[in-house]
Amino acid sequence: MGGIIFGPVRSRRFGESLGVDLSPYVKQCNYDCLYCELEGKKAQDSMESPLEVETILREIQKGLAHFPNIESLTITANGEPTLYPYLYELMLRLEDVKGATQTLLLTNGSLLCEPSIARACLLFDKVKFSLDALSKEVFKKIDRPSKTINLEQVLHGIYDFSADFMGELYAEILFVKSINDSLEEVKKMAKFLAPMRLKRLDIGTIDRPPAYKVERISEKQLESLGRIFLDFGIPTFVAKRIESNRQENLILTQEEILKTLAMRPQSLQDISTLWHSSTKKILQELLQSGAVERIESNGEEFFRIPYDNKIQ
Ligand code: SF4
């Protein structure tokens, strides 16, 4: 199915969804977040070699034919999906292809201030944006945005979009120890989010190997930060490290394993509970060949595609 479609991915919060990767071959993002689960890479303002809308629609059609019962299509990217220059056209034409399937956009929110991009984002059923800081210094430190990005404009864009968007709006904050977890910063974020009609705010911390050497905050601290957002009247969900003990027995091909690990490193816990023994056997072969590596991050073991983990 090429590298554009991945999954299905099951999430307790968004049900079963098929991922659509608008930049399947290389990371392209206008941020270079400390905590990114993808390789650290200099931020860029535009997408190079964007895929044809036709190609993406064809892959989505194949994906939907293969998995007719999925609840949603999650539009994402190895990086930031709103950098895709034909997002509006893709969304318009997707209407004829997707039937009753819902559409979900995962974005860093930085380009919602651009009217042409906001117009495309308004066509989604659900939008989840991330917000990591309200002060300039913290924003620069944690998200390492491209030089053309101005935090004030980003915040205005998110705010205006939240007023215009008719679908379900979600926000996400990822906390990194000693970077964006001060009480002052948290209260600023809560004040900013409180007036929005958020379906839910998800807060979490690092639980996959990050692009740079940064640490997670404790579950206790996360819980107490969650209470601050609740005090501001924001429906808040605190993401716990281990979400499931279900036995899924996922059978994946070698190509699907590589794609899954390229999108998101998997912990030993994920693999033991979710993957079928035949999938684990292929993973062992990939480990032996060096196509996959086993690493330790924040006290847990993970499997991922190797890359140079260097500060740029
Ligand atoms: S975490 Fe998201 S926004 Fe940040 S660098 Fe990675 S892909 Fe970009």
Select from 23, 31, 206 the residue to mutate for testing ligand 1; criterion: most ligand atoms less than 8 Å from CB: 31
Do 19 and 263 contact (CB within 8 A), yes or no? yes
How far apart CA 60 and CA 66 sit, in angstroms, is 10
Q: What does pLDDT average to in each consecutive run of 10 residues of the chain (312 residues)? A: 76 82 94 94 96 97 91 93 98 95 97 98 98 98 98 98 97 98 98 97 92 94 96 92 60 84 82 84 92 84 71 33
Do 55 and 4 contact (CB within 8 A), yes or no? yes
Q: Report residue 304 as tokens.
A: 């991922």
> What pLDDT does 1 receive?
42
- Ligand 1 neighbourhood includes 79 CB (under 6 angstroms): yes
Select from 108, 130, 173, 176 the residue to mutate for testing ligand 1; criterion: most ligand atoms less than 8 Å from CB: 108
> What pLDDT does 247 receive?
56
Q: Report residue 249 as tokens.
A: 């027995």
What pLDDT digit, counting tens, does each position of 58-69 carry? 999 999 998 888
Which atom, in ligand 1's list, is nearest to the CA of 130?
3
Give the full edge-to-edge strand order of the sheet including 168-175: 5-11, 15-21, 72-76, 102-107, 126-130, 168-175, 200-205, 236-238
Select from 27, 28, 29 the residue to mutate for testing ligand 1; criterion: most ligand atoms less than 8 Å from CB: 29
AA identity, residue 59: E
What pLDDT digit, counting tens, does each position of 213-226 carry? 999 999 999 999 99
Which atom, in ligand 1's list, is nearest to the CA of 143?
4
AA identity, residue 271: I
Q: Cβ contacts of residue 213 below 8 Å, gap of 6+?
A: 309, 311
Residue ID of nearest Cα to ligand 1 atom 1: 36
> What pLDDT does 274 receive?
78
> What pLDDT does 246 receive?
56
- Angle of CA points 7, 116, 126, to nearest 5°: 35
- Going from the Cα of 205 to the center of ligand 1, the distance in angstroms, rounded, reads 14
Q: Is 122 exposed, middle or buried (0-12, 13-18, 19+ CB in 10 A)?
A: middle
- Going from the Cα of 89 to the center of ligand 1, the distance in angstroms, rounded, reads 24
- Ligand 1 neighbourhood includes 38 CB (under 6 angstroms): yes
- Ligand 1 neighbourhood includes 36 CB (under 6 angstroms): yes
- Ligand 1 neighbourhood includes 80 CB (under 6 angstroms): yes
Which atom, in ligand 1's list, is nearest to the CA of 35?
1
How far apart CA 307 and CA 312 sit, in angstroms, is 13
How far apart CA 38 and CA 46 sit, in angstroms, is 18
- Ligand 1 neighbourhood includes 172 CB (under 6 angstroms): no
- Ligand 1 neighbourhood includes 29 CB (under 6 angstroms): yes
Strands 15-21 and 293-297: unpaired
How far apart CA 216 and CA 204 sit, in angstroms, is 9
Gyration radius (Cα) of the chain, Å: 19
Q: CA 181 from chain center: how many Å?
A: 20
- Ligand 1 neighbourhood includes 108 CB (under 6 angstroms): yes
